[in-house]
Amino acid sequence: MKPDKKALTLQRKILSQKIASWMSLSDPSRPPSGWLRAVRGALGITTRQLAALIGTNHAGIAALEKRETEGKVTIETLEKAAKAMGCRFVYAIIPDQPNHSLDEILDRRATTTAKRILGRIEHSMRLERQGSPDEEIAEEVKKLAHELKESLDSRLWETSAKKQSA
């Protein structure tokens, strides 16, 4: 069953509101030593103490902190460690550009896709010496981009030129 486009648009708006609070963080990146070690140290908790709180050993905490810095730790493990320290673990997937929203990501993607689609048509027209004025092309790109975004056309996320022409 295909997802309802209106429901997806509403979902995108709701997520955008939630993401906005994450985007306000000046630097949401992980500390070089990892969040576990940084918070544990700030709270004055030793590795042995955290190990006892979680139910593991000193070496287990050292391994956990190492896996976190390598990006190889599970969400479940981070939640357990955070809870043991009187904290909670949170995570989010946010736009990679500051002050961008999910709609802006779709706008960029739709414009790029529209240019690619219309670029092939424009190329064919030029070969036939039927070039269009730049203003007309820009308007067509804008219209097609809007249609692609509103319909959440699958071509927005296709990567190969062969798939784009489908």
User: 114 exposed, middle or buried (CB, 10 Å; 0-12, 13-18, 19+)?
Assistant: buried
Residues 109, 79 within the same domain: no
Give the separation between CA 8 and CA 89, rounded to whole angstroms.
27
Question: Could you give the number of structural domains in the chain?
Answer: 2
State yes or no: pLDDT of 129 exceeds 60.
no
Winning range, highest mean pLDDT, from 1-5, 29-33, 77-81, 126-130: 77-81
Q: Is the pLDDT of residue 100 over 70?
A: yes
Q: Which of 24-28, 37-41, 98-102, 123-127 has the highest mean pLDDT?
A: 37-41
**Is 135 inside a domain boundary?**
yes
Please indicate, yes or no, if residue 70 is contained in any of the structural domains.
yes
pLDDT at residue 96 is higher than 80: yes
| Owning domain of residue 71 | 35-84
Residue 96 belongs to some domain of the structure: no
pLDDT reading at 108 higher than 60: yes
Does 28 map to a domain? no
